[in-house]
Structure 1
Amino acid sequence: MSSVDIIALDCITLVEIFGGLLINGFITTIKILDWWECQKMKPLDKLFLGLGLSRFLTMCLYVFNIINRFFSLNVYQIKVLDWTLNTICLFLDFSSLWFSMWLSVLYYVKVAIFKSNILIRIKLRLSELVPYMILSSIFISLVSGFLFAYNFSSDLDIMIPYSNMDHNQSEEPYLEFAIPSYIFGHFIPFIIVSISTFFLLQTILVHMRHISSNASSITTPRMNAHHTAIH
C-alpha cells in the first residue's frame, strides 16, 4: 500500500469509527441515565448496556491504535502492553458478539408463543437468567481472548495494513489457540444469532398475518395479544 492509500483508508476508517462512537456512546449514556433515575434496569436493557459499552470501548481502542501508529508510539513493542491490549481487543470483540447473540435469543423468546412448559418457565424467568448470561459472556470472552493473546507473539492491531505485517512468522503454533477462540468468540454467537433471527422474523410474520386477516376484530383480546407481542 502507498502512503496515499493508507491515509485515505485511515480517513474513511476514522469517519466510521467516530460514527460508531457517537451511536454506541449515545446508547450507553441513555441506558446509564435511565438506570440512574429509576435505580432499576430491565433485563434487555442490561444486555443493551453491555453491548453498547463493549462496542464503544472497541471504537476507542481503534482510535488509540491509529494514534499509536500516527505518532509512532510503538506501544505494541512493550511485551506487557502488547499482551494486555491484545487481550482487551479480543475480549471486547467477543463480548459484543455474545451480547448481540443473547439479545437476539431473548427477543425471540419474548415474542414467540410457546406450548412447552420448559420454554414457558424460561420466558417467565428472563430477569433471573440475564445476569448469568452476562457473566457467562464475560467469562467466555475473557478466557478465549486471554488464551489466544498470551500465546500470540505479534500484535493484533487490525488497523495495521496486512502488507506491513510479518509474513515470515509461522502461524501453525497458534492454530490450537486461534481455532477455539474463533469457535467460542465468533462461530457459536454467529450461528445462534442467525437461527434466532430467522425464527424471530418468522414469528413476527405470523403475527402480522394474524393481524391482517383479522383486521375487523383488531380490538379483541386475541389480536391485542399479537399486537403486544410484536412491540
Structure 2
Amino acid sequence: MVSSLHSIFTSIISTEFMIGILGNGFIILVNFIDWVKIRKIFLVDQILTALAISRICLILVFIMHRVPRAFYPSSYLSSNKCILIGLAGIVASYFSTWLATSLSLFYFLKIANFSNRVFLRLKHRVEMVVLVMLLGTLVFLPFTLAVIGWEKHEIYPCEINMTLSFKRSDFEDFSKVIVFTIEGVIPFLASSSFFFLLIFSLRKHLKNMKLNATGFRDSSVKAHIRAMKCVVSFLLLFAIYFLATVMATFYTVEIENKLMLSLAQAIGCIYPSFHSFILILGNGKLRKASLLLLWKLRCT
C-alpha cells in the first residue's frame, strides 16, 4: 500500500515537473523572440520572464533533490550536496515569490485608478517602484540563507534514519518564524492588499460609469478583472505552496511520514507548475502566442 501510494505521488510530481517546465519555458521563449524582433522588452515581460526562470530553477531544484534521494540515498544524504541544493531551492523560491508579488504590484499601479497624490506619483514611476521593492527584499536573503544553512548543517544533518526527537532551541524556532514571515506572510499580505485595492478601484470605476450612464463594455473593467484573476490565482496557489512547505519542513523522517513528504511535494509543485498557464491566459501577447501554437499543432 505504501509503495503504491509512493509510486502514485512520484508519477504526479513527474507530470507536474514536465508541465511546469513547458509552461514557464513557453513564457521565456515568447518574450525572448519578441525581444529579438523589436529590440525592446517591456517591464511586465521582464517580470514574467524572470519569474518563469525562477520557477524553472525551483522545479530543477525539486528534481535534483528528489531523484538522487530516491535512487542513491546513502551517498547523496551523507554529502554536502543536500545543503547546497537546499540553499539553491531557497534562492529560487525567494525570487519566485517576490517576483510574483512585484507582478501584483505592477498590475495594481498600472490598472487601478485613484486620485491620491502619492498613488499618482507611484503610478508614473512604476518601474522604479518595482525595482526598489525587489532590491529592498534582497536585504533579507542573506539572513534567510544563513539561517537555513546553519540549520541544515548543525541541526538537521542529512541522514535518512535520523528522527527529530530533540527539542528545538528558542533561537531555531524564532529564526524559522522570521524566515516563514519573510518568505510567506509578508508577500502574501502585500499581494492581498493589492488585490483588495484593485477591487476597491473597480467598484469606484463602475460607480462612475453608472453615474455617467456609460455602458459596461469598458476596457478598464476588463483590465481590472484580468489583473484580479492573476493576483487571486497567485494568492491561492501560493497559500497551497506555503502550507506544503510548512508540512515538508516539520515532518519527521519515518516510513509513514515519507508519504507525507511526497504528498507535500506533490502539492507544492502545483504552484510553480500551473501558475504559469494562468499568467499565459492573463497576458494578451502570451495568450495569442499559445492559441497560435495550438492552431499550428492542430493543423500538423
Tell me which moved more, 49-58 or 39-48: 39-48
On the 8 A contact 2:110/2:123 being kept in 1, the answer is yes
C-alpha change, 1:133 and 1:76, in structure 2 (3 Å) is farther
Q: Deviations over 1:46-96 (max 9, x none)?
A: 2212211111111111122222123216434222x2322111111211221
Mapped to 2, the partners of 1:186 and 1:155 lie a distance apart of 25
Secondary structure of the structure 2 residue equivalent to 1:215: coil
Structure 1 stretches of 4+ with a deviation exceeding 4 A read 208-213, 227-231
Tell me which moved more, 180-189 or 126-135: 126-135
- Please state how far the C-alpha of 1:151 moved relative to its aligned partner: 1.5
On the 8 A contact 1:47/1:134 being kept in 2, the answer is no
2:57 aligned with 1:60: no
C-alpha change, 1:165 and 1:192, in structure 2 (3 Å) is farther
Mapped to 2, the partners of 1:168 and 1:228 lie a distance apart of 54
C-alpha change, 1:178 and 1:193, in structure 2 (3 Å) is same
The root-mean-square deviation of aligned C-alpha atoms, in Å, is 2.9
2:113 aligned with 1:113: yes
Q: Within 5 Å, which residues of 2 pair with 1:29-48?
A: 29-48=29-48
What residue identity is the alignment partner of 1:75?
Y
Normalised TM-score (structure 2): 0.63
On the 8 A contact 1:86/1:155 being kept in 2, the answer is no
Q: What 5-or-longer segments of structure 1 have no aligned partner? A: none
Q: Which residue of 2 aligns with 1:150?
A: 149
On the 8 A contact 2:61/2:89 being kept in 1, the answer is yes
- Please state how far the C-alpha of 1:155 moved relative to its aligned partner: 7.0
2:128 aligned with 1:128: yes
Tell me which moved more, 169-178 or 4-13: 169-178
What residue identity is the alignment partner of 2:109?
V
Q: Which residue of 2 aligns with 1:194?
A: 192
Secondary structure of the structure 1 residue equivalent to 2:151: coil
C-alpha change, 1:170 and 1:100, in structure 2 (3 Å) is same
On the 8 A contact 1:55/1:92 being kept in 2, the answer is yes
What residue identity is the alignment partner of 2:151?
F
On the 8 A contact 1:17/1:59 being kept in 2, the answer is yes
2:5 aligned with 1:8: no
On the 8 A contact 1:97/1:189 being kept in 2, the answer is yes
What residue identity is the alignment partner of 1:15?
T
Normalised TM-score (structure 1): 0.79
Aligned residues: 217
Mapped to 2, the partners of 1:55 and 1:141 lie a distance apart of 20
Secondary structure of the structure 2 residue equivalent to 1:151: helix
Mapped to 2, the partners of 1:37 and 1:134 lie a distance apart of 28
Q: Within 5 Å, which residues of 2 pair with 1:73-84?
A: 74-79=75-80, 81-84=81-84
2:28 aligned with 1:28: yes
Q: Deviations over 1:169-209 (max 9, x none)?
A: 44335223211111111110011111211222343354456
Mapped to 2, the partners of 1:22 and 1:155 lie a distance apart of 34
Mapped to 2, the partners of 1:50 and 1:144 lie a distance apart of 22
The percent identity for this pair of structures is 21
Higher relative contact order (CA 8 A, sep 6+): 2
- Please state how far the C-alpha of 1:11 moved relative to its aligned partner: 0.8
Mapped to 1, the partners of 2:147 and 2:42 lie a distance apart of 34
Mapped to 2, the partners of 1:202 and 1:165 lie a distance apart of 51
Q: What 5-or-longer segments of structure 2 have no aligned partner? A: 227-300
What residue identity is the alignment partner of 2:148?
A
C-alpha change, 1:169 and 1:227, in structure 2 (3 Å) is same
Q: Deviations over 1:93-148 (max 9, x none)?
A: 122111111111221111111222221111111123333333334x2463243122
On the 8 A contact 2:58/2:93 being kept in 1, the answer is yes
Q: Which residue of 2 aligns with 1:168?
A: 165
What residue identity is the alignment partner of 1:3?
S
Mapped to 2, the partners of 1:99 and 1:53 lie a distance apart of 11
